[in-house]
Structure 1
């Protein structure tokens, strides 16, 4: 797969990255939030890094985990942002209260 990609803003505010034929959508983290990235889908997992304010994340799959309350409601959905790294969906603006992609398997 080529390392080149094109990013554009979709009508719902999400960004899409196009790499050859694969499509990965990027979603904005809540404004003013430095978001913990964890090694698993829950607050009991280790923090592996912290995203800066204004970050956007890809969501490769989603899975249930610890229930978290954030700027976008209360949810037990966790977003896999790649490499075994997860963020609480209630801090990510997906435009939905439910799953927006496939479940992690």
Structure 2
């Protein structure tokens, strides 16, 4: 469920809830191992058919004008790689890992 949907339900029940920006800041403070454990608990422990997929994407997208202006022939490569294990039958993520290269 999305934050907006949960906040609407909680406000209808009259329960107090923090602002969206406060939750976003707090989310960054939670260690990665807790997110992994929550994912394992919600996805379950037994998986019969799984698929694995990896993809990479650029963290920055400098314009041609900017690259030319700083007198650089090639932009600095900064990318992130996402690896995911997906349960086909349940249609849930089993494990997710994001790696970045400086």
The TM tier, using the shorter chain, reads under 0.3
Q: Which structure has more strand as a fraction of its residues? A: 1
TM, length-normalised to structure 1 = 0.19
TM, length-normalised to structure 2 = 0.20
